[in-house]
Structure 1
């Protein structure tokens, strides 16, 4: 038997320096590819969401909205100030008498209607009012119901029970931009459940399309204060 010396039997560990150029390139390419795959996996992790895109404020004009075809119902304060009647669908000033900037109402009468208060030349009360809406004015079609006696139907959840994934910082940015852009055309703009919510008097779908185009899907949800019943 021939015994080899330790120097002859031990081989040095292979290093990149000792490798051929082609093998070094293969190992480096594999390492780069592994890093790219890892980054992609992180970016697609559950619960993550890309930042909302923005091509500028949504292009939308409330006066161009197609009004509902049939009857609708609106709930809120009906305020009659010296014969000028409004349906207050947004904020109401806590003054006495109260004040609001609502939808002008035609065909309203206080005859036979309970649940109202009067101060000076102002009369008001909380009601569910049936009527038609032409995009500017609300015309009463049926006797109103005191809001305390009205059995409302739960509105459809536009989020379908799914929580939004947009970051709080991005939601705040979009909320501020929409509040400025829509102004008084928006009854309310707020953040909740991972979305920016916008309520307007009536949206025929054009505002929802506009905010989707501006910020991407599932960032802003639009609701209408008036609800179709026909």
Structure 2
């Protein structure tokens, strides 16, 4: 079954620290868990320092803005897309195309998800200089399905996918009910431990299956 949301060159996400509150030892915001969004709308970071790597398009169409990781690329010239901002990016240090004030290129990107951007931890490398066979973890693979603990209907599965997407809007592209496998399939830029814990705590076991563009860097 083909996945709907994950493109070959995809992207997105964000994180930033929630306010810690003032001096009483806590903000009192139960909805402001790590990796999600505070009730005041500010994003939170995953905080675990995981390094992620992915192959995708980076584009900047606003000279005053930030380069962004593309979740999907419109086939125009120059191309159009948008997604998670990238911190530490320097167009002068990477080969790229430019037209009508837009800069873009396809790269191997490595960084840490901080809450509101992907912070580069290594220099980006143009994909035409990369042998992707050296990164087998980035190759497309069918999702791994377990044995869902409960048999849920299409509407229930879609509601679960929508809830996960709403909880992690910075990194989730979307989700849908996979009735054939009895799961809510969620497409994401990357999957944090907080996202996995959120799914495990709220929904029956093996009901949520994630797919992602960025993968954790082992070792």
Output the TM-score relative to the length of structure 2: 0.60
Per the TM alignment, residue 79 of structure 1 is displaced from its structure 2 partner at its CA by: 0.3
Q: Is the 8 A contact 2:143 2:211 kept in 1?
A: no
Per the TM alignment, residue 143 of structure 1 is displaced from its structure 2 partner at its CA by: 2.5
Residues 181, 206 of structure 1: alpha-carbon distance in 2 compared, 3 angstrom cutoff: closer
Q: Secondary structure at the match of 1:179?
A: helix
Q: Does 1:141 align with 2:129?
A: no
Q: Which has the larger radius of gyration?
A: 1
Per the TM alignment, residue 76 of structure 1 is displaced from its structure 2 partner at its CA by: 1.2
Counterpart pick for 1:113 among 91, 94, 116: 94
Counterpart pick for 1:67 among 47, 67, 74: 47
Distance (Å, rounded) in 1 between the aligned partners of 2:142 and 2:109: 24
Per the TM alignment, residue 189 of structure 1 is displaced from its structure 2 partner at its CA by: 1.5
Match of 2:68 in 1: 87
Structural mapping, 1:35-74, within 5 Å: 61-62=36-37, 63-74=43-54
Q: Is the 8 A contact 2:174 2:188 kept in 1?
A: yes
Q: Secondary structure at the match of 1:128?
A: strand
Counterpart pick for 1:216 among 187, 196, 204: 204
Q: Is the 8 A contact 1:75 1:147 kept in 2?
A: yes
Structure 2 gaps, min length 5: 1-30, 38-42
Residues 220, 213 of structure 1: alpha-carbon distance in 2 compared, 3 angstrom cutoff: same
> 1:9-62: per-residue Cα shift (whole Å, max 9, x none)?
xxxxxxxxxxxxxxxxxxxxxxxxxxxxxxxxxxxxxxxxxxxxxxxxxx7735
Q: Is the 8 A contact 1:74 1:89 kept in 2?
A: no
Q: Does 1:170 align with 2:153?
A: yes
> 1:146-182: per-residue Cα shift (whole Å, max 9, x none)?
2353423236979656576976x72454225533662
Q: Is the 8 A contact 2:161 2:185 kept in 1?
A: no
Distance (Å, rounded) in 1 between the aligned partners of 2:50 and 2:205: 29
Q: Is the 8 A contact 1:80 1:123 kept in 2?
A: yes
Structure 1 gaps, min length 5: 1-58
Counterpart pick for 1:226 among 203, 214, 218: 214
Distance (Å, rounded) in 2 between the aligned partners of 1:147 and 1:64: 31
Greater helix content: 1
Counterpart pick for 2:102 among 106, 109, 122: 122
Per the TM alignment, residue 130 of structure 1 is displaced from its structure 2 partner at its CA by: 1.8
Per the TM alignment, residue 219 of structure 1 is displaced from its structure 2 partner at its CA by: 1.1
Counterpart pick for 1:189 among 149, 163, 175: 175
Per the TM alignment, residue 222 of structure 1 is displaced from its structure 2 partner at its CA by: 2.8
Q: Is the 8 A contact 1:106 1:140 kept in 2?
A: yes
